Amino acid sequence: MVISNFREYFIVGLDLAFVQNGYWWHTEFDEARRVTPGSLQRAGDNIYATLLHLLQSPYLENPAEFGDQKNVFFDFFGLFVVVYSEGVANAVHAILIVAVVVSTANHVRKHSEWRTVIVHLILNIPSYGMIVYLSELFLSIFIPIMGRIGSNPEVLVAIFTNITSYVVVLSLLSILTLTRTNRKQEETTLRNFVDMIAGILIAAAIVLLILCRLHKSPYNHSDSYPVARRIQLFHVNRALYNKDDGVKVRDSVLYVIAQDYRGAMDIPFVDENYTIPKCQYENPYCEIPLYFPTRSRIQDKLVEIPKRRKYNDPRLLCRHIRYRSFDDRPDIPGTKINMVHKEESGNRLSYDFLIKGSGQISVFLVPQSGWQIANCSISAPKMETDDHPLFLFLTCSGRNCGDWTFKVTLKHPGDPVKDDETQLLIGAASHYLHGPNMQSFTIKRILAEIAKNRQHDPTWSTTASAWNVDMIYRYF
Protein backbone atom coordinates (compact mmCIF):
# COMPACT_ATOMS: atom_id res chain seq x y z
CA MET A 1 0.00 0.00 0.00
CA VAL A 2 1.25 3.46 -0.82
CA ILE A 3 0.20 6.80 0.62
CA SER A 4 0.77 9.79 -1.63
CA ASN A 5 -0.51 13.34 -1.80
CA PHE A 6 -1.68 15.55 -4.64
CA ARG A 7 0.64 18.51 -4.19
CA GLU A 8 1.25 18.90 -7.90
CA TYR A 9 -2.47 19.67 -8.31
CA PHE A 10 -2.63 21.84 -5.17
CA ILE A 11 -5.07 19.41 -3.57
CA VAL A 12 -4.58 18.32 0.02
CA GLY A 13 -5.38 14.66 0.45
CA LEU A 14 -4.19 11.10 0.87
CA ASP A 15 -4.38 8.32 -1.70
CA LEU A 16 -4.43 4.75 -0.40
CA ALA A 17 -3.96 2.17 -3.13
CA PHE A 18 -2.90 -1.46 -3.53
CA VAL A 19 0.24 -1.41 -5.66
CA GLN A 20 1.46 -4.99 -5.90
CA ASN A 21 0.59 -7.36 -8.74
CA GLY A 22 0.71 -4.68 -11.42
CA TYR A 23 -0.14 -7.25 -14.09
CA TRP A 24 -3.74 -7.21 -12.82
CA TRP A 25 -4.39 -3.47 -12.75
CA HIS A 26 -7.40 -2.47 -14.86
CA THR A 27 -7.77 -5.92 -16.43
CA GLU A 28 -10.29 -8.73 -16.20
CA PHE A 29 -8.17 -10.15 -13.35
CA ASP A 30 -8.56 -7.01 -11.22
CA GLU A 31 -11.13 -8.61 -8.92
CA ALA A 32 -12.00 -8.12 -5.28
CA ARG A 33 -11.25 -11.78 -4.53
CA ARG A 34 -7.58 -11.22 -5.36
CA VAL A 35 -7.14 -8.61 -2.63
CA THR A 36 -5.77 -10.42 0.39
CA PRO A 37 -7.56 -10.10 3.75
CA GLY A 38 -4.36 -8.68 5.22
CA SER A 39 -4.32 -5.87 2.66
CA LEU A 40 -7.94 -5.02 3.40
CA GLN A 41 -7.26 -5.05 7.13
CA ARG A 42 -4.24 -2.76 6.77
CA ALA A 43 -6.23 -0.39 4.56
CA GLY A 44 -9.01 -0.21 7.12
CA ASP A 45 -6.56 0.25 9.99
CA ASN A 46 -4.76 3.04 8.15
CA ILE A 47 -7.96 4.85 7.21
CA TYR A 48 -9.38 4.53 10.72
CA ALA A 49 -6.16 5.69 12.40
CA THR A 50 -5.79 8.57 9.93
CA LEU A 51 -9.33 9.80 10.56
CA LEU A 52 -8.90 9.65 14.34
CA HIS A 53 -5.63 11.54 14.11
CA LEU A 54 -7.09 14.22 11.86
CA LEU A 55 -10.16 14.69 14.05
CA GLN A 56 -8.00 15.07 17.16
CA SER A 57 -5.35 17.21 15.52
CA PRO A 58 -5.08 20.85 16.67
CA TYR A 59 -4.22 21.69 13.07
CA LEU A 60 -7.93 21.74 12.25
CA GLU A 61 -8.62 24.34 14.95
CA ASN A 62 -5.69 26.68 14.32
CA PRO A 63 -4.08 25.79 10.98
CA ALA A 64 -2.28 29.15 10.76
CA GLU A 65 -0.12 28.27 13.77
CA PHE A 66 1.36 25.27 12.01
CA GLY A 67 3.90 25.68 9.25
CA ASP A 68 4.84 23.06 6.70
CA GLN A 69 6.13 20.11 8.68
CA LYS A 70 8.38 17.48 7.14
CA ASN A 71 8.12 13.93 8.42
CA VAL A 72 9.72 10.61 7.62
CA PHE A 73 7.34 7.66 7.46
CA PHE A 74 7.63 4.05 6.34
CA ASP A 75 6.16 0.67 7.13
CA PHE A 76 8.08 -2.21 8.67
CA PHE A 77 7.46 -5.27 6.46
CA GLY A 78 3.79 -4.27 6.33
CA LEU A 79 3.38 -4.81 10.08
CA PHE A 80 3.21 -1.21 11.29
CA VAL A 81 4.05 2.34 10.22
CA VAL A 82 6.90 4.34 11.74
CA VAL A 83 6.57 8.14 11.72
CA TYR A 84 8.99 10.72 13.08
CA SER A 85 9.88 14.33 12.38
CA GLU A 86 12.78 15.68 10.36
CA GLY A 87 14.59 16.69 13.55
CA VAL A 88 14.39 13.17 14.92
CA ALA A 89 15.61 11.85 11.56
CA ASN A 90 18.68 14.09 11.69
CA ALA A 91 19.43 12.93 15.24
CA VAL A 92 19.07 9.26 14.26
CA HIS A 93 21.37 9.74 11.28
CA ALA A 94 23.97 11.43 13.48
CA ILE A 95 23.84 8.55 15.97
CA LEU A 96 24.25 6.02 13.16
CA ILE A 97 27.27 7.88 11.79
CA VAL A 98 28.89 7.84 15.23
CA ALA A 99 28.07 4.14 15.58
CA VAL A 100 29.72 3.36 12.24
CA VAL A 101 32.84 5.27 13.23
CA VAL A 102 33.03 3.47 16.58
CA SER A 103 32.42 0.10 14.91
CA THR A 104 35.17 0.76 12.39
CA ALA A 105 37.57 1.66 15.18
CA ASN A 106 36.75 -1.57 16.99
CA HIS A 107 37.61 -3.59 13.90
CA VAL A 108 41.25 -2.63 14.23
CA ARG A 109 41.36 -4.43 17.52
CA LYS A 110 42.09 -8.12 17.65
CA HIS A 111 39.00 -10.31 17.89
CA SER A 112 38.38 -13.89 17.04
CA GLU A 113 37.47 -14.14 13.36
CA TRP A 114 34.44 -16.39 13.66
CA ARG A 115 32.78 -14.14 16.24
CA THR A 116 33.25 -11.06 14.06
CA VAL A 117 31.85 -12.82 10.99
CA ILE A 118 28.77 -14.07 12.84
CA VAL A 119 28.08 -10.67 14.38
CA HIS A 120 28.49 -9.03 10.97
CA LEU A 121 25.99 -11.39 9.33
CA ILE A 122 23.45 -11.12 12.16
CA LEU A 123 23.54 -7.33 12.09
CA ASN A 124 22.99 -7.32 8.33
CA ILE A 125 20.03 -9.74 8.29
CA PRO A 126 17.44 -6.90 8.54
CA SER A 127 19.18 -5.05 5.71
CA TYR A 128 19.23 -8.11 3.45
CA GLY A 129 15.60 -8.86 4.25
CA MET A 130 14.59 -5.31 3.36
CA ILE A 131 16.58 -5.52 0.11
CA VAL A 132 14.78 -8.72 -0.89
CA TYR A 133 11.39 -7.26 0.05
CA LEU A 134 11.95 -4.00 -1.84
CA SER A 135 13.37 -5.81 -4.87
CA GLU A 136 10.32 -8.04 -5.16
CA LEU A 137 8.03 -5.04 -4.68
CA PHE A 138 9.93 -2.99 -7.27
CA LEU A 139 9.90 -5.71 -9.93
CA SER A 140 6.22 -6.61 -9.45
CA ILE A 141 5.21 -2.96 -9.84
CA PHE A 142 7.52 -1.38 -12.37
CA ILE A 143 7.93 -4.18 -14.92
CA PRO A 144 4.22 -4.01 -15.90
CA ILE A 145 4.27 -0.20 -15.80
CA MET A 146 7.40 0.10 -17.94
CA GLY A 147 6.02 -2.41 -20.41
CA ARG A 148 2.75 -0.50 -20.79
CA ILE A 149 4.42 2.80 -21.70
CA GLY A 150 6.23 1.19 -24.61
CA SER A 151 9.71 1.42 -23.08
CA ASN A 152 12.02 -1.54 -22.73
CA PRO A 153 11.77 -2.63 -19.07
CA GLU A 154 14.79 -4.91 -19.37
CA VAL A 155 17.20 -1.97 -19.19
CA LEU A 156 15.77 -0.68 -15.91
CA VAL A 157 15.49 -4.19 -14.47
CA ALA A 158 19.11 -4.98 -15.40
CA ILE A 159 20.38 -1.77 -13.81
CA PHE A 160 18.35 -2.30 -10.65
CA THR A 161 19.26 -5.97 -10.18
CA ASN A 162 22.96 -5.34 -10.83
CA ILE A 163 23.14 -2.44 -8.41
CA THR A 164 21.30 -4.48 -5.78
CA SER A 165 23.65 -7.43 -6.28
CA TYR A 166 26.72 -5.21 -6.06
CA VAL A 167 25.47 -3.63 -2.83
CA VAL A 168 24.98 -7.04 -1.21
CA VAL A 169 28.32 -8.39 -2.43
CA LEU A 170 30.24 -5.27 -1.41
CA SER A 171 28.70 -5.42 2.05
CA LEU A 172 30.33 -8.84 2.47
CA LEU A 173 33.81 -7.79 1.35
CA SER A 174 34.74 -6.73 4.85
CA ILE A 175 34.48 -10.38 5.90
CA LEU A 176 37.28 -11.25 3.48
CA THR A 177 39.63 -8.94 5.33
CA LEU A 178 38.85 -10.75 8.58
CA THR A 179 39.47 -14.28 7.33
CA ARG A 180 42.68 -16.03 6.51
CA THR A 181 43.49 -18.45 3.75
CA ASN A 182 45.29 -21.74 4.20
CA ARG A 183 46.02 -22.07 0.49
CA LYS A 184 49.61 -22.38 -0.55
CA GLN A 185 51.18 -19.73 -2.74
CA GLU A 186 51.43 -22.07 -5.73
CA GLU A 187 47.65 -22.57 -5.52
CA THR A 188 46.94 -18.87 -6.08
CA THR A 189 48.23 -18.54 -9.63
CA LEU A 190 46.48 -16.91 -12.56
CA ARG A 191 45.45 -20.36 -13.82
CA ASN A 192 43.62 -21.06 -10.57
CA PHE A 193 41.85 -17.71 -10.80
CA VAL A 194 40.75 -18.37 -14.40
CA ASP A 195 39.49 -21.85 -13.46
CA MET A 196 37.49 -20.36 -10.59
CA ILE A 197 35.87 -17.72 -12.83
CA ALA A 198 35.12 -20.35 -15.50
CA GLY A 199 33.44 -22.53 -12.90
CA ILE A 200 31.26 -19.64 -11.77
CA LEU A 201 30.24 -18.85 -15.37
CA ILE A 202 29.44 -22.49 -16.13
CA ALA A 203 27.31 -22.76 -13.00
CA ALA A 204 25.48 -19.55 -13.91
CA ALA A 205 24.88 -20.82 -17.46
CA ILE A 206 23.41 -24.08 -16.15
CA VAL A 207 21.07 -22.16 -13.84
CA LEU A 208 19.96 -19.92 -16.73
CA LEU A 209 19.31 -22.92 -18.99
CA ILE A 210 17.18 -24.57 -16.31
CA LEU A 211 15.21 -21.36 -15.79
CA CYS A 212 14.68 -20.96 -19.55
CA ARG A 213 13.37 -24.52 -19.74
CA LEU A 214 11.00 -23.96 -16.85
CA HIS A 215 9.80 -20.53 -18.04
CA LYS A 216 9.48 -20.56 -21.83
CA SER A 217 7.52 -17.30 -21.85
CA PRO A 218 7.60 -14.22 -19.60
CA TYR A 219 3.82 -14.57 -19.42
CA ASN A 220 1.77 -17.44 -18.04
CA HIS A 221 -1.80 -18.04 -17.01
CA SER A 222 -3.18 -19.55 -13.85
CA ASP A 223 -6.28 -18.70 -11.91
CA SER A 224 -4.33 -18.02 -8.73
CA TYR A 225 -1.68 -15.71 -10.23
CA PRO A 226 -2.16 -14.78 -13.91
CA VAL A 227 0.67 -12.87 -15.59
CA ALA A 228 -0.72 -11.75 -18.94
CA ARG A 229 0.34 -9.28 -21.60
CA ARG A 230 -2.07 -6.43 -22.31
CA ILE A 231 -3.62 -5.61 -25.66
CA GLN A 232 -6.46 -3.45 -26.91
CA LEU A 233 -9.02 -4.46 -29.52
CA PHE A 234 -11.02 -1.73 -31.26
CA HIS A 235 -13.65 -2.80 -33.78
CA VAL A 236 -14.17 0.46 -35.62
CA ASN A 237 -16.78 1.69 -38.07
CA ARG A 238 -14.89 4.36 -40.04
CA ALA A 239 -16.35 7.23 -42.05
CA LEU A 240 -13.59 9.41 -43.49
CA TYR A 241 -14.47 12.37 -45.72
CA ASN A 242 -12.62 14.38 -48.37
CA LYS A 243 -12.34 18.16 -48.46
CA ASP A 244 -15.38 18.32 -50.75
CA ASP A 245 -17.33 16.36 -48.09
CA GLY A 246 -17.36 13.26 -50.28
CA VAL A 247 -16.79 9.85 -48.72
CA LYS A 248 -13.14 8.85 -48.82
CA VAL A 249 -13.29 5.66 -46.74
CA ARG A 250 -16.25 3.83 -45.24
CA ASP A 251 -15.40 0.45 -43.79
CA SER A 252 -15.13 -1.66 -40.64
CA VAL A 253 -11.69 -2.57 -39.29
CA LEU A 254 -10.28 -4.23 -36.20
CA TYR A 255 -7.31 -2.49 -34.56
CA VAL A 256 -4.98 -4.59 -32.41
CA ILE A 257 -2.81 -2.42 -30.15
CA ALA A 258 -0.10 -4.02 -28.02
CA GLN A 259 0.33 -2.43 -24.61
CA ASP A 260 3.83 -3.73 -23.91
CA TYR A 261 7.30 -3.41 -25.37
CA ARG A 262 7.08 -6.68 -27.32
CA GLY A 263 4.74 -5.07 -29.82
CA ALA A 264 2.00 -6.62 -31.93
CA MET A 265 4.16 -8.80 -34.17
CA ASP A 266 4.06 -11.90 -31.95
CA ILE A 267 0.43 -11.75 -30.79
CA PRO A 268 -0.76 -15.28 -31.69
CA PHE A 269 -3.86 -14.40 -33.72
CA VAL A 270 -2.17 -11.53 -35.61
CA ASP A 271 -1.25 -13.14 -38.94
CA GLU A 272 -0.43 -11.91 -42.45
CA ASN A 273 -4.00 -10.62 -42.85
CA TYR A 274 -3.23 -7.87 -40.33
CA THR A 275 -1.31 -4.97 -41.85
CA ILE A 276 0.33 -1.71 -40.89
CA PRO A 277 -2.06 1.22 -40.36
CA LYS A 278 -2.19 3.45 -43.43
CA CYS A 279 -2.80 7.11 -42.72
CA GLN A 280 -5.51 8.63 -44.93
CA TYR A 281 -4.68 12.23 -43.95
CA GLU A 282 -1.65 14.28 -42.93
CA ASN A 283 -2.57 13.39 -39.39
CA PRO A 284 -0.14 12.51 -36.58
CA TYR A 285 -2.83 10.31 -35.01
CA CYS A 286 -3.16 8.33 -38.26
CA GLU A 287 -6.93 7.94 -37.74
CA ILE A 288 -6.34 5.44 -34.95
CA PRO A 289 -9.17 5.71 -32.38
CA LEU A 290 -6.89 6.06 -29.38
CA TYR A 291 -8.59 6.14 -26.00
CA PHE A 292 -5.57 8.06 -24.69
CA PRO A 293 -3.23 10.32 -26.74
CA THR A 294 -0.41 7.77 -27.02
CA ARG A 295 0.58 8.64 -30.58
CA SER A 296 4.25 8.03 -29.73
CA ARG A 297 3.48 4.36 -30.31
CA ILE A 298 2.62 5.23 -33.90
CA GLN A 299 5.60 7.39 -34.79
CA ASP A 300 8.44 6.96 -32.32
CA LYS A 301 8.62 3.17 -31.99
CA LEU A 302 9.71 2.21 -35.49
CA VAL A 303 11.55 -0.99 -36.33
CA GLU A 304 12.33 -2.83 -39.54
CA ILE A 305 10.22 -5.90 -40.25
CA PRO A 306 12.24 -9.07 -39.65
CA LYS A 307 12.75 -11.06 -42.84
CA ARG A 308 11.51 -14.21 -41.16
CA ARG A 309 7.98 -12.83 -41.04
CA LYS A 310 5.55 -14.12 -43.64
CA TYR A 311 4.38 -10.63 -44.53
CA ASN A 312 7.87 -9.35 -45.29
CA ASP A 313 7.96 -5.65 -46.06
CA PRO A 314 11.13 -3.54 -46.37
CA ARG A 315 9.40 -0.43 -45.07
CA LEU A 316 9.53 0.80 -41.53
CA LEU A 317 6.47 0.14 -39.44
CA CYS A 318 4.91 0.78 -36.10
CA ARG A 319 5.60 -2.22 -33.94
CA HIS A 320 2.62 -1.76 -31.63
CA ILE A 321 -0.38 -1.59 -33.97
CA ARG A 322 -1.94 -3.80 -36.66
CA TYR A 323 -5.37 -3.70 -38.27
CA ARG A 324 -7.58 -5.76 -40.55
CA SER A 325 -10.86 -5.25 -42.39
CA PHE A 326 -13.90 -7.34 -41.46
CA ASP A 327 -17.33 -7.71 -43.04
CA ASP A 328 -18.86 -7.85 -39.58
CA ARG A 329 -19.89 -4.27 -38.74
CA PRO A 330 -20.65 -3.31 -35.13
CA ASP A 331 -24.29 -2.33 -34.68
CA ILE A 332 -23.70 1.06 -33.04
CA PRO A 333 -25.04 4.59 -33.59
CA GLY A 334 -23.06 6.86 -35.88
CA THR A 335 -20.97 9.75 -34.56
CA LYS A 336 -21.78 13.22 -35.91
CA ILE A 337 -19.74 16.43 -36.16
CA ASN A 338 -21.70 19.58 -36.99
CA MET A 339 -20.35 23.09 -37.40
CA VAL A 340 -22.88 25.39 -35.74
CA HIS A 341 -21.14 28.69 -36.48
CA LYS A 342 -17.99 30.03 -38.13
CA GLU A 343 -16.63 33.56 -37.79
CA GLU A 344 -13.70 35.02 -39.72
CA SER A 345 -11.70 38.04 -38.57
CA GLY A 346 -8.46 38.72 -40.45
CA ASN A 347 -6.02 35.99 -39.56
CA ARG A 348 -8.29 34.48 -36.88
CA LEU A 349 -11.10 31.93 -37.22
CA SER A 350 -13.65 30.93 -34.59
CA TYR A 351 -15.71 27.75 -34.83
CA ASP A 352 -18.64 26.49 -32.78
CA PHE A 353 -19.04 22.71 -33.02
CA LEU A 354 -21.61 20.16 -31.90
CA ILE A 355 -20.45 16.55 -31.55
CA LYS A 356 -22.91 13.74 -30.91
CA GLY A 357 -21.75 10.29 -29.87
CA SER A 358 -21.32 7.97 -26.91
CA GLY A 359 -20.50 8.76 -23.29
CA GLN A 360 -16.76 8.57 -24.03
CA ILE A 361 -15.47 10.39 -27.11
CA SER A 362 -11.91 11.00 -28.28
CA VAL A 363 -11.62 14.18 -30.35
CA PHE A 364 -8.66 15.00 -32.61
CA LEU A 365 -8.20 18.60 -33.80
CA VAL A 366 -5.59 18.92 -36.57
CA PRO A 367 -5.02 22.44 -38.00
CA GLN A 368 -4.38 22.70 -41.75
CA SER A 369 -2.55 25.00 -44.20
CA GLY A 370 -0.38 26.77 -41.64
CA TRP A 371 -3.21 27.54 -39.22
CA GLN A 372 -2.55 27.13 -35.50
CA ILE A 373 -4.86 26.37 -32.58
CA ALA A 374 -5.03 29.47 -30.39
CA ASN A 375 -7.66 28.34 -27.92
CA CYS A 376 -10.35 25.77 -27.19
CA SER A 377 -13.22 26.33 -24.79
CA ILE A 378 -12.97 22.88 -23.15
CA SER A 379 -9.19 22.54 -22.88
CA ALA A 380 -6.51 24.19 -20.80
CA PRO A 381 -5.65 27.74 -21.96
CA LYS A 382 -2.73 27.86 -24.39
CA MET A 383 0.04 30.29 -23.52
CA GLU A 384 1.21 30.49 -27.14
CA THR A 385 0.00 29.21 -30.48
CA ASP A 386 1.63 26.37 -32.40
CA ASP A 387 0.75 23.99 -35.21
CA HIS A 388 0.50 20.96 -32.91
CA PRO A 389 -2.77 19.01 -32.95
CA LEU A 390 -5.05 18.97 -29.94
CA PHE A 391 -6.47 15.85 -28.29
CA LEU A 392 -9.68 16.07 -26.25
CA PHE A 393 -11.34 13.33 -24.26
CA LEU A 394 -15.01 13.87 -23.47
CA THR A 395 -16.76 11.70 -20.89
CA CYS A 396 -20.16 11.87 -19.23
CA SER A 397 -22.97 9.74 -17.81
CA GLY A 398 -26.72 10.07 -17.36
CA ARG A 399 -29.44 11.43 -19.62
CA ASN A 400 -28.64 13.39 -22.78
CA CYS A 401 -25.09 12.15 -22.48
CA GLY A 402 -22.97 12.36 -25.60
CA ASP A 403 -23.92 15.82 -26.92
CA TRP A 404 -21.00 18.24 -26.72
CA THR A 405 -20.65 21.85 -27.83
CA PHE A 406 -17.36 23.73 -27.80
CA LYS A 407 -15.54 26.61 -29.47
CA VAL A 408 -12.19 26.45 -31.27
CA THR A 409 -10.14 29.50 -32.26
CA LEU A 410 -7.47 29.31 -34.97
CA LYS A 411 -4.78 31.85 -35.74
CA HIS A 412 -2.54 32.15 -38.80
CA PRO A 413 0.99 33.50 -38.17
CA GLY A 414 1.16 35.03 -41.67
CA ASP A 415 -1.21 35.72 -44.53
CA PRO A 416 -3.67 32.83 -44.95
CA VAL A 417 -4.37 31.46 -48.42
CA LYS A 418 -7.71 32.89 -49.49
CA ASP A 419 -8.72 30.07 -51.84
CA ASP A 420 -8.08 27.34 -49.27
CA GLU A 421 -11.51 26.43 -47.95
CA THR A 422 -10.40 23.98 -45.26
CA GLN A 423 -8.50 25.11 -42.19
CA LEU A 424 -9.27 22.36 -39.68
CA LEU A 425 -9.50 18.56 -39.71
CA ILE A 426 -11.61 17.09 -36.90
CA GLY A 427 -11.89 13.46 -35.92
CA ALA A 428 -14.27 12.04 -33.32
CA ALA A 429 -14.24 8.46 -32.03
CA SER A 430 -17.15 7.27 -29.88
CA HIS A 431 -16.10 4.46 -27.54
CA TYR A 432 -18.78 2.03 -26.35
CA LEU A 433 -17.38 0.72 -23.07
CA HIS A 434 -20.52 -0.93 -21.71
CA GLY A 435 -23.99 -2.06 -22.65
CA PRO A 436 -25.28 -4.19 -25.52
CA ASN A 437 -23.26 -2.22 -28.10
CA MET A 438 -19.92 -2.83 -26.41
CA GLN A 439 -18.54 -5.81 -28.35
CA SER A 440 -19.12 -7.13 -31.85
CA PHE A 441 -19.25 -10.79 -32.86
CA THR A 442 -15.64 -10.57 -34.07
CA ILE A 443 -14.40 -9.27 -30.72
CA LYS A 444 -16.31 -11.91 -28.78
CA ARG A 445 -14.89 -14.65 -31.00
CA ILE A 446 -11.29 -13.47 -30.45
CA LEU A 447 -11.79 -13.12 -26.69
CA ALA A 448 -13.19 -16.66 -26.52
CA GLU A 449 -10.18 -17.94 -28.48
CA ILE A 450 -7.79 -16.19 -26.08
CA ALA A 451 -9.57 -17.53 -22.99
CA LYS A 452 -9.43 -21.08 -24.37
CA ASN A 453 -5.83 -21.18 -25.62
CA ARG A 454 -4.15 -19.42 -22.70
CA GLN A 455 -5.09 -22.32 -20.44
CA HIS A 456 -2.40 -24.51 -22.02
CA ASP A 457 -0.22 -22.20 -24.16
CA PRO A 458 1.82 -19.41 -22.46
CA THR A 459 2.11 -17.48 -25.72
CA TRP A 460 -1.67 -16.92 -25.54
CA SER A 461 -1.49 -15.53 -22.00
CA THR A 462 -3.17 -12.28 -22.96
CA THR A 463 -5.78 -9.99 -21.49
CA ALA A 464 -7.64 -7.65 -23.82
CA SER A 465 -9.55 -4.43 -23.31
CA ALA A 466 -12.00 -4.66 -26.18
CA TRP A 467 -14.92 -2.54 -27.36
CA ASN A 468 -16.64 -1.09 -30.42
CA VAL A 469 -15.87 2.37 -31.78
CA ASP A 470 -17.58 4.61 -34.30
CA MET A 471 -15.19 7.13 -35.86
CA ILE A 472 -15.64 10.04 -38.24
CA TYR A 473 -13.20 12.55 -39.77
CA ARG A 474 -14.29 15.74 -41.53
CA TYR A 475 -12.70 18.91 -42.90
CA PHE A 476 -13.94 22.37 -41.94
- Of 231 and 379, more confident: 231
* pLDDT, position 65: 64
- Of 14 and 310, more confident: 14
* pLDDT, position 194: 83
* pLDDT, position 113: 60
The mean per-residue pLDDT over the stretch 295-308 comes to 45
The answer, yes or no, to whether residue 257 has pLDDT greater than 50, is yes
The mean per-residue pLDDT over the stretch 272-296 comes to 83
- In percent, the amount of the chain with pLDDT more than 70 equals 79
* pLDDT, position 149: 58
* pLDDT, position 27: 85
The mean per-residue pLDDT over the stretch 381-401 comes to 80
* pLDDT, position 107: 62
* pLDDT, position 223: 84
- Of 145 and 85, more confident: 85
* pLDDT, position 306: 44
d(CA 154, CA 157): 5
The mean per-residue pLDDT over the stretch 196-224 comes to 77
pLDDT-wise least confident of 27-41, 299-313, 359-373: 299-313
Which of 15-29, 80-94, 260-274, 322-336 is predicted most confidently? 322-336
In the chain, domain spans: 230-304+312-475
The mean per-residue pLDDT over the stretch 124-142 comes to 79
